[in-house]
């Protein structure tokens, strides 16, 4: 029996298998509102047969968006636009759906990637960014404002309000974005956090604000709604955030009721040197899983079903998250099930597509089918 297609308990939520569609920014929103693109994009992924689909990084306040085209969940219009997309998805799929809530901090106010990704200029709609310290992400970029006590309180409240909106929308789980050099990661890393107050300096202090945000969100939604954290386990820069800090952070999260940790890496510094290779981040997830009692998701150049199966079978992680592979092949879980001799849920409209030799491949996705 395939371990990749065995169920996984994440808090009160049962995933039918251990394939997670990781959040992937689409840069296709209008004033933070999801558009028809999201209906098409998320709709096809909701039919993929994965165990969990995580909606892309969603800004908790307007200045927390990476680009002006990012999705947000900070006002009623954002919530209504997302409700429309979710309603369509729910009509045709019972796949569990999570959302990644984040704040870009000093990496906000940028062009979309296919237009260069650089910081917006004053005549391009740029806005003032914020961070742990007044240090720009890269040389030549505008410096952010260091968040003061009022700013910290505002950002924390924005995370809480976005989480409450997500819960009202019927989303199944929340992932807080503490990775890839965005705001919560900016507090964790000594490369971006050079504060001299209770939120900077020693590891305990650098953990403080991300943990306060987690605690506030955890308290704001029902216990039945899992809340987890995406983290960069290392900055890949000497003297930066590292795996030891990530283990300590994960332990602190687990003690506060964290339901899962999603392990990525990098993003806080252009000086990073990432040794790319298949599954290059899996050892980071494995280290955290070995030391922390919380489900761990592994991600990073996991592209083949047998590779994903090996990660789960060896106990290196509890689930495997795929991103670019799912963009290239939205029905990747179907191929994985076929190769591993498992069954995957698929809509009845597609049942005719299964090969004759794989007649037991598809299970019923229809609401109430079980």
Q: Return the CATH number at 184.
A: 3.20.20.70
Residue 98 lies in a domain: yes
Largest distance between two CA atoms of the chain:
66
Distances (CA, A) of 306 to 3, 10, 182, 324, 334: 11, 23, 32, 17, 13
Given the residues 27, 74, 182, 199, select the one marked as catalytic.
182
- Tokens in use for 213? 């945000």
Assign 119 to helix, strand or coil. strand
Residue 189 lies in a domain: yes
Successive 10-residue mean pLDDT values, the chain, 370 residues = 97 98 98 98 97 98 98 98 98 96 98 96 96 96 97 98 98 98 98 98 98 98 98 97 98 98 97 94 98 97 97 98 96 96 92 86 65
Instruction: Output the pLDDT for position 366.
Output: 57
Rounded CA-CA distance 158/225 in Å is: 18
Instruction: Output the pLDDT for position 356.
Output: 83
Instruction: Output the pLDDT for position 120.
Output: 97
Helix axis angle for 149-168 and 203-220, nearest 10°, is 40
Helix axis angle for 243-255 and 282-291, nearest 10°, is 50
Judge whether 182 counts as a catalytic residue.
yes
DSSP characters for 167-198? Answer: HHTT--EEEEEE-TTSHHHHHH-TTT---SST
Residue 2 lies in a domain: no
Rounded CA-CA distance 82/78 in Å is: 6
* pTM, entire model: 0.96
Instruction: Output the pLDDT for position 233.
Output: 98
Residue 1 lies in a domain: no
Taking residue 197's Cβ as centre, other Cβ atoms within 10 Å add up to: 11
Instruction: Output the pLDDT for position 365.
Output: 63
> Dihedral sign, CA of 14, 283, 247, 175?
negative
Rounded CA-CA distance 186/105 in Å is: 8
Residue 335 lies in a domain: yes
Instruction: Output the pLDDT for position 370.
Output: 47
Residue 81 lies in a domain: yes
- Give the domain extent around 66: 8-364
What's the structural domain count of the chain?
Answer: 1
């Amino acid at each position: 029996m395939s371990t990749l297609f065995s169920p996984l308990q994440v808090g009160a939520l049962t995933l039918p298998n251990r394939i997670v569609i990781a959040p992937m920014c689409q840069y296709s929103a209008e004033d933070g509102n999801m558009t028809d693109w999201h209906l098409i994009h998320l709709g096809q992924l909701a039919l993929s047969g994965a165990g969990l689909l995580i909606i892309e990084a969603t800004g908790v306040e307007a200045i927390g968006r990476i680009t002006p085209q990012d999705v947000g969940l900070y006002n009623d219009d954002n919530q209504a636009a997302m409700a429309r997309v979710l309603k369509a998805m729910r009509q045709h799929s019972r796949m569990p759906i999570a959302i990644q809530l984040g704040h870009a901090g000093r990496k906000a106010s940028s062009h979309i990637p296919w237009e260069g990704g650089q910081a917006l200029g004053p005549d391009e709609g740029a806005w003032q960014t914020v961070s742990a310290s007044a240090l720009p992400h890269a040389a030549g970029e505008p410096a952010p404002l260091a968040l003061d006590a009022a700013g910290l309180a505002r950002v924390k409240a924005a995370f809480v309000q976005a989480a409450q909106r997500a819960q009202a929308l019927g989303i199944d789980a929340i992932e807080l974005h503490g990775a890839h050099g965005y705001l919560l990661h900016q507090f964790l890393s000594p490369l971006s956090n050079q504060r001299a107050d209770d939120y900077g300096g020693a590891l305990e202090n650098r953990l403080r604000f991300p943990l306060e945000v987690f605690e506030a969100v955890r308290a704001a939604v029902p216990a039945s709604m899992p809340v987890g954290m995406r983290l960069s386990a290392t900055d890949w820069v000497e003297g930066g955030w590292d795996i030891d800090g990530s283990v300590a952070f994960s332990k602190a999260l687990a003690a506060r009721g964290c339901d899962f940790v999603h392990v990525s890496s990098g993003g806080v510094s252009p000086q990073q040197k990432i040794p790319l290779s298949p599954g290059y981040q899996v050892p980071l997830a494995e280290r955290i899983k070995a030391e922390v009692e919380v489900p761990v998701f592994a991600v990073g150049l996991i592209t083949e079903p047998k590779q994903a199966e090996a990660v789960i079978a060896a106990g290196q992680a509890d689930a495997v998250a795929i991103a670019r592979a799912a963009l290239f092949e939205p029905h990747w879980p179907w191929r994985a099930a076929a190769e591993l001799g498992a069954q995957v849920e698929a809509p009845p409209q597609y049942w005719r597509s299964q090969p004759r030799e794989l007649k037991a491949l598809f299970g019923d996705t229809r609401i109430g089918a079980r």
